[in-house]
Amino acid sequence: MAACGEPGKQRQEEVAAAAVVVVGSCMTDLVSLTARLPKIGETIHGHKFFIGFGGKGANQCVQAARLGAKTSMVCKVGKDSFGNDYIENLKQNGISTEFTYQTKDAATGAASIIVNDEGQNIIVIVAGANLLLNTEDLREAASVISRAKVMVCQLEITPATSLEALTMARNCGVKTLFNPAPAIADLAPQFYALSDVFCCNESEAEILTGLTVSSPEEAGKAALVLLRRGCQVVVITLGAEGCMMVSQTDPVPKHVHTEKVKAVDTTGAGDSFVGALAFYLAYHPHLSLEEMLQRSNRIAAVSVQTAGTQTSYPFKEDLPPTLF
């Protein structure tokens, strides 16, 4: 069991601590655009190929960093060119990579994605090095974890590692923001108890509760079910409808509306939302939850209006000062 204040890696110089620490995934997206999806055994020509930076953990970290948060990414990539490029991408975004590990034992996580002209896709994800991030790695990072304001976790790494990260944060009084994505039906009960904020989308809420979630009203009911499992706050994102919120201190579900925008590419909208929420929890803790969610809605709305995942995430400089 992780206690707070365990000896971590000793530092030569005292640097300002990261306020937002993400313990999660990095994935390289390999995207091919084709007229139609290939059949089994078939080789077809596509008209465009590009490589993108993804993985829910890194996406959320990048969005928080672009809003001005001091961030640290605790994750594992391969000792390969994709891993080297990923570390460079994190640095370019001003994220600390002090605890971004590289392993020879697996390749950097990768998602092979084929998208046809109708926007339909087939995707194969190989989590690779992400699954090798372990509790020993977390212990080495104990000093950054214990000094953070907010820790963010998802489920694209080994669940036991996420659980240990959340436990370490909780024991140090660090606020936990948990995004149960991709969702699993039999999520361990400790995940709920360890979540100060539990944030998922409608399909994840369906998987976790077994309820149908296709309206704000149904999302409110699902949020109450999740709240009863022990989270302090539950947020369910609703695409263009904004999100629902409910908390132990105000257990009446509330719909946080947003201004609908015309979406160009919604990939990674949920990660933009979670990254923005992490920023507000760390840097504007005295705002009401509703106000933080309204602002997170507005930031995620910007991200759906241009193509790509991280490439669509706005910077502080591009946003109205009233959001800060």
Ligand X SMILES: *[C@@H]1O[C@H](CO)[C@@H](O)[C@H](O)[C@H]1NC(C)=O
- Interatomic CA distance for residues 196 and 227, integer angstroms: 10
Instruction: Using CB under 6 A, pick the residue from 238, 245, 281, 323 that binds ligand ADP.
Output: 238
Part in contact with ligand X (CB under 6 A); list of ranges 77-85, 98-106, 140-148, 199-207 = 199-207
- 303 marked among binding-site residues: yes
Task: Find where tokens 């999660």 sit.
Answer: 24
Q: What one-character DSSP code corresponds to residue 96?
A: B
What are the start-end ranges of the E strands in 34-163? 48-54, 71-78, 100-103, 110-115, 121-126, 150-153
Q: Using CB under 6 A, which of the segments 75-83, 90-98, 120-128, 196-204 binds ligand X? A: 196-204
Question: Using N-to-C axis directions, what is the helix angle for 269-283 and 289-303, rounded to 10°?
Answer: 140
The β-bridge partners of 113 are 31, 123
Question: Do residues 183 and 203 touch, judged by C-beta distance below 8 A?
Answer: yes
- Is residue 196 a contact point for ligand X (CB under 6 A)? no
| Residue 46 annotated as part of some ligand binding site | no
- CB under 8 Å, gap of 24 or more: what pairs does 188-191 form? 188/159, 188/163, 189/229, 189/230, 190/163, 190/166, 191/162, 191/163, 191/166
Site string for ligand X, 264-283 (x = CB under 6 A): ------x-------------
User: Angle at Cα 198 formed by Cα 195 and Cα 199, nearest 5°?
Assistant: 155
Among this protein's residues, is 271 annotated catalytic?
Answer: yes
What SS3 class is residue 279?
helix
Interaction of residue 201 with ligand X, rule CB under 6 A: yes
Candidate residues 178, 273, 280, 313; the one interacting with ligand ADP per rule CB under 6 A? 273
Residue closer to ligand X by CB (options 20, 200) is: 200
Q: Taking CB under 6 A as the rule, does residue 237 contact ligand ADP?
A: yes
Binding mask of the shown chain, residues 44 to 83, with x at each position contacting ligand X by CB under 6 A: ----------------------------------------
Catalytic residue among 80, 137, 196, 271: 271
Strand order in the sheet with 48-54: 48-54, 27-33, 110-115, 121-126
CB 235 → ligand X: shortest distance, Å? Answer: 13
Calpha distance 198→146 (Å, rounded): 20
By CB under 6 A, tell whether 294 contacts ligand ADP: no
Binding residues for ligand ADP (CB under 6 A): 201, 237-240, 242-243, 258, 260-261, 263, 266, 269-270, 273, 297, 300-301, 304
List, as residue ranges, the binding site for substrate: 27-29, 55-59, 156, 271
Residues with a catalytic annotation lie at 271
List, as residue ranges, the binding site for ATP: 201, 237-242, 258, 270-271, 297
List, as residue ranges, the binding site: 27-29, 55-59, 156, 201, 237-242, 258, 265, 267, 270-271, 297, 303, 306, 308, 312
Binding residues for ligand X (CB under 6 A): 181-182, 201-204, 239, 270
